[in-house]
Chains A and B, each alone.
Chain A
Amino acid sequence: MGLLSREAWAQRLGAFRASPSAYMAAPEGEDLGRDLLSDLRSEKLSEQTKVSMLALSLEYPAQLWPDAPTAEAAATSLLDTLVLLPPRPSALRRPLLLAATTALVTGGVLGPTSGASLRLLPLLLGLASGGDLGRGFGPSSEQRPLQATACECLRELESCKPGLLGGCLGLLHGLLGQEGPVAPVQPLSLLLALALRNTLVIQARARASLQGLLTVRASPPGGGPWNWTLAQEGEAHLQPQAPSWPAAEEECGLSALEPSPEEARELRAAVAQLLDTSYLLTPVAQAQLLWLLGWALRGLRGQPPVLFKPQLVRLLGTAQLTLLHAVLALKAAFGEALFTAQDEALLLRRLTLAAQHPALPLPAHLFYLHCLLSFPENCPLGPAGEEAAPLLLEPQLCRGLLPSLLHDPMALLARLHLLCLLCAEDEQKEEKGQAQSPCHYLQELLAGLQQRAALTGGPRALATLCFQASYLVAHCLAGHHTVLAPLTHGLAQLYRARPALAPHFVDLLDQVAPELGEPLRVVLRQEVVSRPGGDEALRWHLQMLAKVADRDAQSATLGFLQAAAAHCTDWGLQQALLRVCRALLRAGVGGGLADLLQALARQLEDPDGRDHARLYYVLLSHLSGPKLGVALGPSLAAPALTSSLVAENQGFATALMVQEAPAPIRLSVGPRRAEGPVPVLQLQVEVLEPVYSLELRFRVEGQLYAPLGAVHVPCLCPGRPARPLLLPLQPRRPAPAQLDIRALYTKSTGLTCYTHLPPLPVKFADLFLPFPKAPEDARLGFFEELWDSCLPKGTESRLWCPLGPQGLEALVSRHLEPFVVVAQPPTSYHIAIRLPPDSKLLLRLEAAQADGVPVVLRTDDWAVLPLVGDYLRGLSAAV
């Protein structure tokens, strides 16, 4: 884009300022940064226009030159422009210096590798020290303001890169002490103080000494390269380190620094010099100096804080916010070392005075009041970080700080807080019961606030104020019945006078539930249900009742609702009415409510309302109490919306639908129990969380067994041993199978969950049942009978059953004991197994050898032969 006229630039800058992001997103935004830099050198534009262009670059460098290379280029270009200015007075030199500094910092390029940094730093330092730069840099009339500006630029660079000027401490110190035509005191003092503080912190962290930094007068711009060492060490120090409040800086104190006696003397001299000339600084700059020096000296050995003492009386006399704040910072930093108990009392008095002085503005009053309640005491008693009245702040001192109705809302609340703190103390001391006691005054004040909030048509801010005050009182004076009882009563009266404040009451109930919730709920409910149903404020009553209705006083509540139902003519009112019913359902109100819901299901005009009433009725009559509570409770999935329908649907979706969930249940097959008419599987169950109404459903693929019944367990808790569950099996064929298992259960939150558990195997051996025991002497005959009965329908087979090291006896007793009919241990066993539904398996184990036993088997079911083979061969492995 070519050269722009003054008007075009004004328009362009205006458009940019209106919305920087929108402007930069548009095509014209692209060239703005470049055009700005080139047009700064145009001779056609006035200085005023250029100053406004530079002002823009001071505010939005990141938008104009968004990355490091462009920022570096911009800073270089700005420096070039500065050098090329003709040697006459110009309004551009200051803003150019500021702009170059800003561009370097925001572009993140300040450092030893940046050419622009290496040009700017010596230039600034040269200007700051008032030296001749050899180029006729500007006319002499501009030297002084430029000197100040250069100091400011250096201070900003040091702020953003602590330690940058560590190598120049000696130079700066020397400049400040210079006689004759002198440098401006304020910028130099502030620069020195900041550099000093940063150096001390960096050196203390590095556990290094000051290394004579204060005394070395050599300056880098003399030609030597810039010393970046400290700045690189300091890199980490712009990390959040809570330096704002010296008390918070405990752990990174300067005690690690051990200056030599000479260094300590030098340091003390520098600080004393800064403090002595501090009256030449503007009040805000004095305050900055005090904060910086307070940080710098805190915890530093050999630097007694008495240096500050001569300044204090002067500072305490002023009303300047920054100065008193700085004194408080010193107080926090040095405590008793600088402020005796008497000094502390005086400071408190001045603060108390400033917090109410008629000559000061309200924001200052409020800030002082905050400082009073966060006062850094020498001997704090209460918990840190909580607002409290300092010990030395006697009630007598606070008299002028108590609230009255004539105060601005913010002042009233701030002072009310103080009053509450006093009341809490007052009640601790003794029950005075006098009319003048703070508690009595508090009650009068609350009554006044309630009266104002009750004004029909009054601004909402007044009502809000009353509720804020109530909240504050309930919060600060929890448990103080003498205050809270009248407050509750007063609030009930307020509701009576202005039911339209129902949303405020609901909000208050939410906020003060632990302190005031129950009594307030009771009186408000009484207040509502004692009304006739057809009140014009019905909408508010219903909103209120939805919040306060519960199991108590149900008949009165239901009576009110019945009366109100006739007046609920529009959709909104009906919804409000149903919301109350919902609240009652949740609270577990039963009988009367069912009647009401039935009546509503018939009576309401709106079909939606009728449907809802019917739904609630169905829910009431079908769901148990806890389940209802969950079903109607606020959805956990999403914040409740104002519409009852949406809230409800969400509630149902989560509560009434069965949720699929990862199983908190583990099932396993327990020891076999070979007895009874049918095989029964013993299941061991473990849970990871409480589970209620557990139902386990089993299914077997391919109709091998008859359908299995479900198993029910009322309650299971983790860690509590559960009895084994018995699952009777009805095989249609004697074959192993896989059990497919699903679980349905209710969690302690009331949600019903469904889960698919890992399948369990039913092994062939799980189906074994013994034959009834024959008398001792008839056993052999019984077995032979069975043996013979297998043929010819069945089959006989022989196979080799390998034996483990334990031998045959152990194998039999472990696996086949229940089925042994005739035994001649350790060599011969006759075994008879019943395989449901109606098969049998007979084994003769005789003449065992060391590594195995020959088995002769007979069965009447051909199909089981391979299973038996697998089984027998697996036995030795299973030992």
Chain B
Amino acid sequence: MAQRAVWLISHEPGTPLGGTVRFSRRYPTVEKRAKVFNGTSYVPIPEDGPFLKSLLFELRLLDEDRDFMESRDSCSRINKTSVYGLKVGGEELWPVVAFLKNGIVYACVPLVEQTLSPRPALISISAISQGFELLFGIQDFLYSSQKIDTELNTKLSQLPDLLLQACPFGTLLDANLQNSLDSISFASVTHPQKQPAWKAGAYKGKPQVSISITEKVKSMQYDKQDIADTWQVVGTVTCKCDLEGIMPNVTISLSLPTNGSPLQDILVHPCVTSLDSAILTSSSIDAMDDSAFSGPYKFPFTPPLESFNLCYYTSQVPVPPILGFYQMKEEEVQLKITVNLKLHESVKNNFEFCEAHIPFYNRGPITHVEYKVSFGQLEVFREKSLLIWIIGQKFPKSMEISLSGTVTFGAKSHEKQPFDHICIGGTAYLKLHFRILDYTLTGCYADQHSVQVFASGKPKISTHRKLISSDYYIWNSKAPAPVTYGSLLL
């Protein structure tokens, strides 16, 4: 269940090495066990330099477009998980858990408590999920409130001490590194009662509970006979409970209005102590019917100190908030485009912002645009080959707006204009970006009065809601578009 070593590598394209090891930590006692467990299949952990080189090569993060290289490009080298075998000094180091996020490669080598040949299935190696969790934990810590690069450096410099707390011998004790950081400062408190390991201390101060529901809506719209449009809501309920006492109990209920869309695919935070089976089984996999469980969704839990995601859910609302079509046709040297967007009447017509981005890939810079909009205004980014239609805070009374025009392009120069491997030929999309405050598409809300807190003092309870667009695509209906299996099944 232990890790043999862990690394953070910043990916720096264009530099001679392609990256720098920003942090590494080895666990010699685990290595000692690896040697025994792996027997003749044991491969030692390399030093940072060779590891960096080999990992970046395997992840295809070195200069990409060189010649075909069998060791990298052979069709039989298929990785279906973020677990790799690295060629190091003629041997293969496996398993290496690694992924790239925000320009940093997170990597670790989990201990396998048996021989490596034949390779055991990943599912049978307990240290694999522990390794993932460690890397996710480090990632959360680095980016929890990261604004600027200097802050990242500060956090990186805290890592050695933090891992000494959270993973002293390679066996992870807590993936929440922030908690480990807090536990250093809370260390002097005495504990008359059993203290959860995930809670470093106790809160002192005015009791308050804050609940915010953020829904993201994504959609793929095609405006085609044979392809169904799809849309989905993904909700996140975030809580911050400032309550006194070691183990205060809180129950939050999420409710839906009549005609609200049932919540599905609910995943909860590990601090939730029990779960109704209806919550556990409500799933988007099943066909929807009226008998679907529609709440209230009760979550009893003992909160940790920090802000946490109480639960995630998805939901299938009956209609997408904005339905539209996008038609783009190539006419000799120019493109003729028509866009139509319609806000559904049930949706709150009060946006924080609403924009439609219309990118043109694999073409030259925009040289000329002629257009007509029924509402809002159009901004042209010539070099980026991008149009942004700023719709603003409200749709007009008709709820329907349109844009039409022609766009002409200059000669293509590869460096500046965006390349895209989906938008080939007529395949094109527009992407909607919008945000509506104090609103959820499902109707889901946390009633202040339904929040039960079993702790000293009456807490102040605040709730927040918002709807954000995410991956909201409307595809050109005059050309082929990428579809998912779900779109085909109607």
* A contacts, CB < 8 Å to B: 17-21, 51-52, 55, 58-62, 94-95, 98, 101-102, 105-106, 108, 141-142, 144-145, 149, 152-153, 155-156, 159-160, 180-182, 184-187, 238-245, 247-248, 277, 279-288, 291, 313-314, 316-326, 328-329, 332, 346, 349-350, 352-354, 357-364, 366-367, 369-371, 374, 376, 385, 396-397, 399-400, 402, 404-406, 410, 413-414, 417, 435-436, 441, 444, 448, 451-452, 455, 457-462, 464, 467-468, 470-472, 503-504, 507-508, 511-512
Contacts and interface: CB of A to CB of B under 8 A. Distances in A.
A317 B272 contact: yes
A285 B197 contact: yes
8 interchain residue pairs of minimum CB distance? A245-B124, A503-B68, A186-B197, A359-B312, A319-B267, A325-B129, A414-B80, A467-B75
Contacts of B47: 19-21
Contact of A396 (B272, B285, B488): B285
Nearest to B277: A313
B65 A460 contact: yes
Contacts of B424: 451-452, 455
Nearest to B37: A240
Contacts of B64: 459-461
A282 B60 contact: no
B43 to A, nearest CB: 15
A234 B137 CA distance: 34
Interface stretch (B163-171, B249-257, B437-445): B163-171
Given A184-B195, A318-B269, A106 B29 contact: yes
B188 A362 contact: no
Given A243-B114, A313-B274, A318-B270, A288 B130 contact: yes
Residue from A149, A284, A362, A460 with most neighbouring chain B CB atoms (10 Å): A284
B79 interface: yes
Interface string B30-47: 011100111100000001
B216 to A, nearest CB: 8
Given A239-B36, A399-B285, A358 B234 contact: yes
B415 to A, nearest CB: 12
Contact of A55 (B164, B171, B314): B164
B225 interface: no
Contacts of A448: 482
Contact of B123 (A285, A350, A363, A370): A370
A258 B314 CA distance: 50
Contacts of A248: 114, 120, 124
Given A59-B25, A313-B274, A281 B132 contact: no
Contacts of B193: 182
Contact of B169 (A152, A284, A346): A152
B112 interface: yes
17 contacts: A160-B32, A181-B190, A182-B191, A243-B113, A248-B114, A280-B197, A285-B172, A313-B280, A321-B133, A324-B129, A362-B99, A366-B82, A435-B488, A460-B64, A472-B78, A503-B68, A508-B75
Contacts of B29: 101-102, 105-106, 156, 159-160
A404 B422 CA distance: 11
Contacts of B309: 359
Nearest to B36: A238
Interface stretch (B147-155, B173-181, B366-374, B395-403): B173-181
A65 to B, nearest CB: 11
B79 to A, nearest CB: 6
Given A284-B174, A352-B285, A404-B484, 8 more contacts: A239-B36, A283-B175, A283-B270, A284-B175, A285-B174, A399-B489, A413-B79, A452-B421
Contact of B132 (A286, A321, A329): A321
B213 interface: no
Nearest to B60: A461
B121 interface: yes
Residue from B27, B74, B194 with most neighbouring chain A CB atoms (10 Å): B74
A180 B193 CA distance: 7
A400 B27 CA distance: 40
Contact of B28 (A55, A59, A285, A318): A59
A457 B1 contact: no
Chain B interface residue number, banded: 35 or more
B58 interface: no
B149 to A, nearest CB: 21
Contacts of A281: 196-198
A152 B168 contact: yes
Interface in B180-234: 183, 187-188, 190-198, 216, 218, 232, 234
Interface in B250-295: 265-270, 272-275, 277, 279-281, 283-285
Nearest to B28: A106
A413 B76 CA distance: 12
Residue from B28, B68, B129, B136 with most neighbouring chain A CB atoms (10 Å): B129
B125 A414 contact: no
Contacts of B482: 404-406, 448
A233 B218 CA distance: 60
B128 interface: yes
Contacts of B82: 362-363, 366-367, 410
Contacts of B192: 180-181
A268 to B, nearest CB: 21
B195 to A, nearest CB: 7
Given A105-B32, A244-B114, A457 B414 contact: yes
B425 to A, nearest CB: 9
B73 interface: yes
Contacts of A318: 267-270, 272
A180 B190 CA distance: 12
Contacts of B379: none
Contact of B485 (A362, A374, A441): A441
A454 to B, nearest CB: 9
A316 B280 contact: yes
Interface in B124-149: 124-126, 128-130, 132-134, 136
B122 interface: yes
A240 B99 contact: no
A508 B133 CA distance: 36
Contacts of A400: 284-285, 486
A560 B265 CA distance: 60
A573 B140 CA distance: 54
Contacts of B280: 313, 316-317, 346, 350
B442 to A, nearest CB: 14
A539 B123 CA distance: 46
A507 B198 CA distance: 51
A59 B38 CA distance: 20
A57 to B, nearest CB: 10
Contacts of A417: 80
Contacts of B133: 283-284, 320-322
Contacts of B176: 282
B171 A155 contact: yes
B485 A399 contact: yes
Contacts of A242: 113-115, 120
B128 A504 contact: no
Contacts of A62: 28
Given A364-B132, A367-B122, A400-B486, A159 B197 contact: no
B130 A322 contact: yes
Residue from A105, A240, A288 with most neighbouring chain B CB atoms (10 Å): A240
Nearest to B485: A402
B80 A410 contact: yes
A77 to B, nearest CB: 18
B426 interface: no
Contact of A240 (B77, B115, B272): B115
Contacts of A511: 74-76
A309 B18 CA distance: 49
B331 interface: no
A284 B121 CA distance: 21
A318 B279 CA distance: 12
B483 interface: yes
Contact of B312 (A155, A319, A455): A319
